């Protein structure tokens, strides 16, 4: 049977092997030469290489010497770590055979010399015709000052080491202005007159469907910035936007805000997903933006005042209720399925069981359940709490299927997860799983607790698995 399998054409074997995990493929290539010949190209479809890895040169040499393997690379992550030597850790024409490369992520730039940077850029331009996704995160070597351009990109993710005042990605965006569909600024951004971010806001992207503007940290004038970003977003050439993010953090009460006098009921006609602050949603509701009442995904970053009150959230609720009737919409976000709430003043390094039932925070949770009755996925940063308090937070979430919280929110889970989760599983009859997210910037795995119910719907057992990818569960 096994011998017959290995006599199959290469294309059929590749199809069969494609369903195997990376770990299974790693084991399979040592079975025989036939397995190695078919399995190794699949194994290296997705590569993540770090300059400090012990055996990285062995991997680089293999891929450089074997075009039949290099040609299969579709996704690559290159991480450049200190110390930086005189000789680059990777050859600048490394991707010469990677004609199927679609996604490239750089964590730090791999080349410090202009000559090597030029070869690297030319190789990507001429040898990687399918490259459509580019991501950059700061690291040991800074991005080239000039001359690095890629055209035909669809997705750009950018995080600058000095906010975006040194926005060197602008030439790349200009070169790909007709093709870009996704633009994402990570971290904090600076908006000043005649600086790179200001020039970015003057560009127009006719195929843009997803826009993340980053979190504002500095500006000449808040009013000018708000006008600039509103005009950029509301330009008719950006009418295809489905996902919009106005930030995840705010500094000294500074944040991107839409100008109400530039909004209308027909603004953002295709909006399905929004990320930002309650004040953003409040102004859209006040301006009776019709698409707001049909969004399916919402991420909000809520900040309490000095007294611990969430007045901006209350104002958002009020604006939604009072303005919905003007556009014949129900006074709720009835289409919403995914909700992410990040609440300020949640300190996950403390055990705060005595504070978790704070009535103001509990009221906010109940308020969102009332405003968004169809929620099936909830994600947020809850305090560490005992089983009964955890259940109280979700009493009104009738359709909830998935809860995702930081691992430290579940520090009271104890040795028997079934006893901890029983109250919330009994209360939320559709709940299927709870995800304990790994701490950020760590190599740990997420933990997924799945609930098995008996014929009456009562909790029978709890299973747990560790995974690095929770996107399949609808996590943000």
352-362 pLDDT tens trace: 444 444 666 77
Minimum mean pLDDT range among 20-24, 160-164, 165-169, 333-337: 160-164
Relative to beta strand 46-50, strand 75-79 is parallel
Q: Report the Cα–Cα distance between both ends of the chain, in Å, rounded.
A: 44
CA angle 100, 104, 107 (to 5 degrees): 155
Helices (H) and strands (E) in the chain, counts: 15, 19
Q: What is the mean pLDDT of the chain?
A: 87
**What is the mean predicted confidence (pLDDT) over 448-473?**
91
Counting beta carbons within 10 angstroms of the beta carbon of residue 77, is it exposed (0 to 12), middle (13 to 18) or buried (19 or more)? middle
The reported pLDDT for the residue numbered 13 is 61
- Greatest CA separation for the chain: 73
Total number of residues shown for the chain: 476
Residue 104 has pLDDT above 70, yes or no: yes
Q: What is the pLDDT of residue 349?
A: 46
Separation in Å, CA 58 to CA 55, 245, 447: 5, 41, 33
Average pLDDT over residues 268-278: 97
| Residue 383: band (very low, low, confident or very high) from pLDDT cuts 50, 70, 90 | confident
Q: How far is CA 430 from the centre of its chain?
A: 26
For helices 311-323 and 278-286, give the axis angle rounded to 10 degrees.
Answer: 20
Q: What pLDDT does 83 receive?
A: 78
Rounded-to-integer distance, Cα 289 and Cα 186, Å: 27
More confident call, 197 vs 299: 299
pLDDT band for position 171 (cuts 50, 70, 90): confident
């Amino acid at each position: 049977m096994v011998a017959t399998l290995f006599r199959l054409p290469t294309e059929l074997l590749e199809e069969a092997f494609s369903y195997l995990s990376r770990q299974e493929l790693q084991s399979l290539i040592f079975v025989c030469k036939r397995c190695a010949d078919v399995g190794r190209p699949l194994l290296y479809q997705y590569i993540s290489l770090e300059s400090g890895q012990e055996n990285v040169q062995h991997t680089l040499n293999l891929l450089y010497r074997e075009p039949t393997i290099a040609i299969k690379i579709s996704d690559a992550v290159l991480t450049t770590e200190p110390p930086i030597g005189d000789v680059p850790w990777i050859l600048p024409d490394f991707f010469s055979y990677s004609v199927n490369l679609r996604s490239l992520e750089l964590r730090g730039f791999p080349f410090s010399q202009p000559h090597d940077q030029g070869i690297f850029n030319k190789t990507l331009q001429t040898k990687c015709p399918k490259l459509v996704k580019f991501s950059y995160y700061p690291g040991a070597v800074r991005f080239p000052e000039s001359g690095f351009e890629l055209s035909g990109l669809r997705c750009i993710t950018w995080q600058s080491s000095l906010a975006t005042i040194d926005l060197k990605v602008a030439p790349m965006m200009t070169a790909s202005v007709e093709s870009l569909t996704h633009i994402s600024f990570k971290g904090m951004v600076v908006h000043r007159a005649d600086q790179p971010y200001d020039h970015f806001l003057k560009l127009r992207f006719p195929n843009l469907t997803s826009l993340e503007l980053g979190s504002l940290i500095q500006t000449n004038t808040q009013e000018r910035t708000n006008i600039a970003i509103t005009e950029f977003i509301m330009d008719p050439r950006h009418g295809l936007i489905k996902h919009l993010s106005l930030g995840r953090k705010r500094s000294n009460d500074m944040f991107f805000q839409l100008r109400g006098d530039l909004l209308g009921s027909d603004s953002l006609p295709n909006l399905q997903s929004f990320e930002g602050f309650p004040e953003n949603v409040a102004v859209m509701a006040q301006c009776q933006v019709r698409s707001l009442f049909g969004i399916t995904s919402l991420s909000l970053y809520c900040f309490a005042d000095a007294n611990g009150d969430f007045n901006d959230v209350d104002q958002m609720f009020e604006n939604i209720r009072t303005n919905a009737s003007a556009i014949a919409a129900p006074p709720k976000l009835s289409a919403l399925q995914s909700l992410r709430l990040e609440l300020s003043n949640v300190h996950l390094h403390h055990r705060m069981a005595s504070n978790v039932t704070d009535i103001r925070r509990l009221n906010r949770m109940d308020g969102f359940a009332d405003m968004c009755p169809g929620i099936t996925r909830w994600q947020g940063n809850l305090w560490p709490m005992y089983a009964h308090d955890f259940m109280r937070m979700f009493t009104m979430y009738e359709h909830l299927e998935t809860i995702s919280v930081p691992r430290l929110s579940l520090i009271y889970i104890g040795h028997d997860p079934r006893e901890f989760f029983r109250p919330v599983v009994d209360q939320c009859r559709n709940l299927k799983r709870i995800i304990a997210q790994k701490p950020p910037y760590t190599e740990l795995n997420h933990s997924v607790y799945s609930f098995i119910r008996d014929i009456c719907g009562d909790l029978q057992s709890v299973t747990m698995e560790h995974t690095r990818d929770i996107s399949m569960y609808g996590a943000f």
